[in-house]
Amino acid sequence: MGQLPFAEEDSPNKRRKELGPRAKSDIPVNPSSDSPRRWYSRRSLVTLALLGGILALAGLGCDANAHQSILSSTPWTLDGVGGPVAREQLLLFNVLLWTMVIVFVLVEGALLYAAIRFRRKPGDPLPPQTHGHTPLEIAWTIVPTILILGLGVWSVIVLFKLEPGEAIALARAEGREPLRVEAVGHQWWWEFRYEDPIPGSADDALVTTANEMRVPVNTPVIMELKSDDVIHSFWIPKLAGKQDVVPTKTNSMWFLAEETGMYYGQCAEFCGTAHAQMKFRVHVLEEADYNAWVDGFAEPVELSAEASRGQLVFLGDGQCVTCHTVGASDTVNPATGEGVQHGRMQTYIAYTKWLDKRAHERLEDVRTGNEPPTAFAAPNLTDFGCRTTLGAGLLDRNRESLRQWIRDPDGIKPGNRMSELAAIYQTRLDHRADLTETQLGDLVEYLSAQGPDICLR
């Protein structure tokens, strides 16, 4: 580069002329102050303090122990995570973040220091002109290169560890197989399907549930993620990071929970009206409890007189069975003598194919502008007695909230597909269920009685 175009020291008059007419009146920089050359004003200090205060307040909301927190109380402890996948992700996140914070503070600090300390004062002579500093330039090329290469390579290694292959390797090292669970995103709830709920056992009963999945502790779990409609994102912050759930495609991820307990999950990709109400829970159980849930899953349950009447409403006037499934395939509808489980959901393979086909058809429909197909999936209610929530994590489940939900789902979760599509909500002007209070009460009894012993007792 040639010489920098530094001009000779200008006379104040000459400079004013160059600045043009607006600068002609000589406004003092800071009339109230003795030293007119401060680089900050009182107002900028107040603004800064306010911003800092707001940030600090927002920071108070961060808590490593909050339900869906992905933070640890300090960068080095990594507490607040529930298993190895989240730990790996949190460690990488913390190291990347703090490395960048340190680099930022050093670079910006040096910049600010130089700008303030060596700023030009009136009457200062032209400073000595320098052109480069070889050792410095080599240093600030090599250090960032090493940093970025190191962090990049480590990120790629972590990415590989997040692949399901790692879960398979981990399980096989202990002479077993990982548990595979298919999660299907629907607007606005989650379906969980277990093709082989107890890996390695000959008993292969299909388990299908919704919004609350159960897994055994210390077992690698591979999630196979599918969507029924739009793009969702599957996220259990304390167990594993997000993965997109994309129509016509199966994505996968895995996690392992080290302790029993409940973990909170959330759809993490805007997917329409009730996106914020598309939560789910992961119950991590002792292996024996998990097996009891699986074994008892589709066992027929004893129904009280009220609950039996409720079953008739479920299958008849309520038309709930057009969308919902309750019970094993050998549960018989007393009205028709037919199995209660729908034909379309009878086998896993058939259902998966149906789902894929439907997703493709929907894409076609979007392209051609056709009406969407009429078949609708709904939460499987077979283990409804195990649910702690209603409406995808929206309400605590109890008899009162269930009654409210059946009476007026739209009043609780605006936009949900049940009120939009079920016939009983289309006949009254206020869009509430066209059922009597007795029918509602019977339905509540019927649904509350569903579930394996381990949940009902």
Stretch that binds ligand HEC, among 118-126, 139-147, 173-181, 321-329 (CB under 6 A): 321-329
User: Reduced to 3 DSSP states, what percent helix, strand and coil does the chain have, rounded to the nearest 5?
Assistant: 40, 15, 45
> Is 402 within 8 Å of 385 (Cβ atoms)?
no
Stretch that binds ligand HEC, among 29-37, 54-62, 92-100, 405-413 (CB under 6 A): 405-413
Least gap, CB of 446 to ligand HEC (angstroms): 8
| Token digits of residue 383 | 């283990």
Residue 189 or 351: the one with the smaller Cβ distance to Cu ion is 189
Residue 379 or 452: the one with the smaller Cβ distance to ligand HEC is 379
Least gap, CB of 139 to Cu ion (angstroms): 48
**Which residues, 255 to 284, sit near ligand HEC by CB under 6 A?**
274
**Which residues, 225 to 264, sit near Cu ion by CB under 5 A?**
232
| Edge-to-edge order in the sheet of strand 251-255 | 207-210, 189-194, 179-186, 221-227, 251-255
Return the residue of 318, 327, 385, 452 that touches ligand HEC, per CB under 6 A. 318
SS3 432: coil
Of 97, 55, 60, 107, nearest to 76 (Cα)? 97
SS3 129: coil
Cα dihedral sign, 105-108-114-120: negative
Of 325, 324, 306, nearest to 399 (Cα)? 306
**Which residues, 172 to 191, sit near ligand HEC by CB under 6 A?**
188-189
> Pick from Cu ion, ligand HEC, none: which does 232 bind, CB < 5 to 8 A by kind?
Cu ion
Residue 320 binds ligand HEC (CB under 6 A) = yes
d(C-alpha 269, C-alpha 256), whole Å = 23
The structure tokens 């086909």 sit at 357
> Pick from Cu ion, ligand HEC, none: which does 267 bind, CB < 5 to 8 A by kind?
Cu ion
Residue 88 or 229: the one with the smaller Cβ distance to Cu ion is 229
> Is 247 within 8 Å of 207 (Cβ atoms)?
no
> Pick from Cu ion, ligand HEC, none: which does 452 bind, CB < 5 to 8 A by kind?
none
How far does the chain reach from its first CA to its final CA, in angstroms?
83
> Pick from Cu ion, ligand HEC, none: which does 93 bind, CB < 5 to 8 A by kind?
none
**Which residues, 21 to 40, sit near ligand HEC by CB under 6 A?**
none
Least gap, CB of 277 to ligand HEC (angstroms): 7
**Which residues, 341 to 400, sit near ligand HEC by CB under 6 A?**
376, 378-379, 387, 390-392
Of 180, 166, 168, nearest to 226 (Cα)? 180
> Is 98 within 8 Å of 75 (Cβ atoms)?
yes
d(C-alpha 257, C-alpha 340), whole Å = 35
Least gap, CB of 99 to ligand HEC (angstroms): 42
| Token digits of residue 336 | 């028709």
Residue 251 or 388: the one with the smaller Cβ distance to ligand HEC is 388
Q: Which parts of this chain interact with Cu ion (CB under 5 A)?
A: 232, 267, 271, 278
Q: Which parts of this chain interact with ligand HEC (CB under 6 A)?
A: 188-189, 210-211, 274, 318-320, 322-324, 376, 378-379, 387, 390-392, 405-406, 413, 416-418, 421-422, 424, 443, 447
